[in-house]
Amino acid sequence: MSAAATTIDAAGVRVTRGRRNVAWTGVGALLVVVVLAAFPYLVHSGTTSIMVQGFIVLTLASMWNLLAGYAGLVSVGQQAFVGLGAYGVLIAATHGLSPFAAVPIAAIASGVAALPLWWLVSRLRSGYFAIATWVLAATVMLIIEKFSSIGGGTGMPLTGLSDLGPTLLAADTYWVGLAVTVAALTGTYLLLQGRLGLALTAIRDDETAARSSGVRVGLARLVVFVVAGVGCGAAGAVLAISQLQVQPRAVFSVQWTAEMAFAVIIGGLGTIEGPIVGTVVYMVLQQTLQSYNAWYLIVLGLVAMLVALFARRGLWGLVESRLDVRLFPVGYWLRAPAGGTGAPPIVPDEVG
Q: Is residue 133 part of a domain?
A: yes
Count how many residues are written for the chain.
352
Q: Determine, yes or no, domain membership for 89.
A: yes
DSSP string, 206-243: -HHHHHHTT--HHHHHHHHHHHHHHHHHHHHHHHHHHH
Q: Which residues of the chain have pLDDT under 50?
A: 1-8, 10, 341-352
In a domain, 24, yes or no: no
Residue 145 lies in a domain: yes
Is 231 within a domain? yes
Tell me if 97 is assigned to some domain: yes
Q: What is the pLDDT of residues 180-217, one digit of tens each?
A: 999 999 999 999 888 888 888 888 778 888 888 888 88
Q: What is the pTM of this model?
A: 0.88
Q: Which residues contact 125 (CB under 8 A, 6 or more apart)?
A: none
Q: Does residue 279 sit within a domain?
A: no
> What residue ranges in the chain does DSSP mark as E strands?
7-8, 14-16, 156-157, 245-246, 333-335
Q: Is residue 264 part of a domain?
A: no
Range of the domain at 161: 36-253
- What is the model's pLDDT at position 338? 54
Task: Work out how many domains the chain is built from and give that number.
Answer: 1
Distance CA 181, CA 159 (A): 24
Which pLDDT score is estimated for 10?
46
Residue 351 has a pLDDT of 40
pLDDT of residue 2: 40
